[in-house]
Amino acid sequence: MKQLTHIHSTVEVIKKSTFIAIVAPILSVDDAKEFLLNHSDFSATHNCWAYRIGQVYRFNDDGEPSGTAGKPMYNAIEGQEFDNTAVLVIRHYGGIKLGTGGLMRAYGGGVSRCLQTAEFETIQDIDELVINVPFQYIQAMHNLAKLLNATVISENFNEFGALMTIRLLTKHSSNLIDKATNISKGTVKLLET
């Protein structure tokens, strides 16, 4: 998933209508509401919006035909794999009707192009694994952690070996556990994640 680093906007004129797309990083529904309140242009014909924060999402057509603005904008957030993101498209009507397909392309496409040109960072899920490692496999676990770009954040010795806490990207967790199990012939034990 991706997350914006700051507010970004683009402007497009489509059949004499001006579409101003604004995208912003948010961390809560209150952030989304504040962004919409601060950036909406109430003199414009429409202020359509969408946001996504994890599993929470909303969108609004603001008077455009149902399903032609907010949903395509939300789909653009999803399609570009963004999270913690609010989008607003301000439309100043230019006198030429676009039809439902034209509106969906204008709103969804405008947000998609705006997100493509915005600066972002990758959101990575992190796990912390607590593993009981017999003495003879401690160095092998350090080598394995290094191989998977993991960090041994603590190592507490006991009568059986060491209790190691290892921080790594979630996508590498099962690989570390599998390799550790194979290296140690099943004697390394995962205690918690």
pLDDT digits (tens, 9 = 90+) for 44-70: 999 999 999 988 999 999 999 999 999
Range name among 14-28, 97-111, 170-184 with the lowest pLDDT average: 170-184
Q: Which pLDDT score, from 0 to 100, does residue 54 have? A: 86
111 torsion bin: left (phi>0), alpha (psi -120 to 50), beta (else): alpha
CATH code, 126-192:
3.30.70.240
Residue 126: predicted pLDDT:
82
| Two domains, one topology: 2-122 and 126-192 | no
What are the structural domain ranges in the chain? 2-122, 126-192
What pLDDT, on a 0 to 100 scale, did the predictor assign at position 125? 79
Residue 91 has pLDDT above 70, yes or no: yes
What Å distances lie between residue 19 and 37, 51, 65, 69, 142, CA to CA? 18, 18, 16, 11, 54
The pLDDT score that the predictor gives to residue 38 is: 97
Residue-wise pLDDT for 132-183, tens only, equals 999 999 999 999 999 988 889 999 999 989 999 998 888 889 999 999 999 9
- pTM for the structure as a whole: 0.70
CATH class of segment(s) 2-122: alpha beta
pLDDT of residue 193 exceeding 70, the answer is no
